[in-house]
Amino acid sequence: MAVQKIRTGVISRLARLIDFRIDERMRETIRDLTNRVNDLEHATADHRRRLDAAETGLGDAIGDLRWTRAELDRIIPHIAAQEAQLETLRESLVMTPRADAAETAEARSLIEEIQRQHAQIRVRLAGIARYEDRLRRLEDAQLAPTTPQ
């Protein structure tokens, strides 16, 4: 019986020692896991904050993109019209024959002669307009009833 008591005591002490070592290891493991969970919670909170900021930025970018698209849709017809005008000008430049200095001087003299003749025509038309105005006044004076005085 004494051996059994010693045996039970030794087993009991050994069990407590093992339990203590297991409890100590479990506390370390639980502490490590708790620290890891805390770190993950902080990382998750940071990720949520960054995701919210990214979603806000994306919303702003979508708004800017919609505005840009509307402006582009508005401007495209104007640009197409200007491109057509440029192409017409380009074609007219291609169709214009190249001239040397003598041809250019002759063209300038022709233009000056046309301008001189236009000036003469304007003077003549102004004279005709004055003449017609005088005729109209004379006709008005003849057609007006004479009042006895």
Q: Is residue 2 part of a domain?
A: no
Structural domain including 131 reads: 105-141
Instruction: Write out pLDDT tens, residues 107-138.
Output: 889 999 999 999 999 899 999 999 898 888 88
130, part of any domain: yes
- Whether residue 129 lies inside any domain: the answer is yes
Kindly report whether the global pTM for this prediction surpasses the value 0.75.
no
Q: Judge contact between 127 and 134, C-beta under 8 A.
A: no
Which tens digits make up the pLDDT trace of 68-93? 999 988 898 888 899 998 888 888 77
User: Domains in the chain: how many in total?
Assistant: 1
Rounded alpha-carbon distances, angstroms, from residue 73 to 62, 69, 78, 82: 16, 6, 10, 15
What is the secondary structure of 16-61 as a DSSP string?
A: HHHHHHHHHHHHHHHHHHHHHHHHHHHHHHHHHHHHHHHHHHHHHH
Does residue 98 belong to any structural domain of this protein? no
For residue 131, tell me if it sits in a domain: yes
Residue 109 included in any domain? yes
